[in-house]
Structure 1
Amino acid sequence: METKDIRRSNLRTLLDEHVAQGLTKADFAEKLGITASQLSQVTSNKHVRNIGDTLARRTEVSFGLPKGWMDTIQAGFVDKPGKTEHANNYSLQNLSRNYTDHTYRIEQLDVELSCGGGRMNSEYPDIIQSIEVDPEYAKRMFGGRPASSLKITTAVGDSMRGSVEPGELVVLDVTVSRFVSDGIYAFSYGDSVHIKRLQKLKDRLVVISDNKTYEKWEISSDEEEQLHIQGFVVGKWEMNYTRLG
């Protein structure tokens, strides 16, 4: 099985398990930070949409599963077209204990599920694909966030100069899929993608570039359906390489 098929199988199993416990599909989708329509697409037998890295890792975080669970064929069930059969004594908790990962690796952002216009770093080369950090240091560095909740992407342009310089690696908490407080977010709006500061003022969001050369603009409550937040910026890495030989 390819990774896309394994992920689809595992997500169906999770969905079936939680529906059997009385959770609705709409509740399940909300817990993942996606719409019910998107859930139908990624679990459909017609393979309407594949499950990208962002949704796979978010699923693991949302349901307390270890990193990589979604990418591994899980013992205890057999996936058939349109049906998931559970083996005797099937338990999500037991499956979770069968998969362990002692590294703290932050992968590159995958925006496959975004509603925007393409990759966030399409105009800048993807030099760094992933970063591994000492787990104990990572706890202090990222406030206890699990690695599966973080992604890296390369900053493009100079609109956030002063906070984020062009070419720096930005670290995102991709479990944040809605506005939670004033801060810097990665988001799509209409057909464009941005890393900008968002500030809530009454019934509207103000989009702020820290580089004062750029004007502020606003997103009204009527326009918020066009806003799709990809993550909350929690930090950055300065990238500066000098060749010496």
Structure 2
Amino acid sequence: MDIQAIRRANLATLVQSRFGGSQNALAIAVDRQASYISRCLSESGKHAKPIGEKFARHIEASLGLSPGSLDTAPGHDTPARRNLLEAGAPERSPHVFPIEVWDDETPLGPDEVELPFYKEVELSAGKGSEVMLETSGRKLRFGRRSLQRKGVEPAAAACAAVTGNSMEPVLPDGSTVGIDTGVQQVQDGKMYAIDHAGQLRVKLLYRLPGGGLRVRSYNEAEHPDERYEGDYVADHIRIIGKVFWYSVLL
């Protein structure tokens, strides 16, 4: 296989393993249009586009892969190839922690913490809603060491439920995310929980000049990008924290 065939094969593997077969979801993750990814995956035709050295390294950096992972031929057992394959394996993903069965009567283990949930709370007299931390409601248990491995302080960790189809196929309706409230500085293309005028939302964020934000959904066909100027962001959008974990029930 030549280098272009190898890169196409590895890119196709990433689409299937990490993004559930969605070229659009991968395109968002690497900040490209879905049509661009489609051209990169095409073997022939006037619209086919080679995956150059610069873009290959950009994909690896965007997805947290080892440099050169896309250039390793399928079937070769090398660290770079294993890194590529393991990136999308659910059972080995850095975003997936072990789950244990428990109920409200099960005491906390010495290495466990309970994380509260953020939720939308209706205000009195029809004044809209507000996103608040539900300290006395449901909680999700995490291992302290699991949080430490992600660099998350237990006191700064919380959870939220995803509603709607805007983040499909990565986060279907009903998914749960873990939030690091200690990280509120926006890194372009990363996922954050935000309080948008009283609505709890989980979105990909990008910085714009003047303190503005571009808000992006994985389901871009039904939920196109939203752009907000700095003044609007200051008055209406509060970044709750960066998403460090998510759980999906199929």
The interval holding the TM-score normalised by the smaller chain is 0.3 to 0.5
With structure 1 as the length reference, what TM-score do the two structures score?
Answer: 0.46
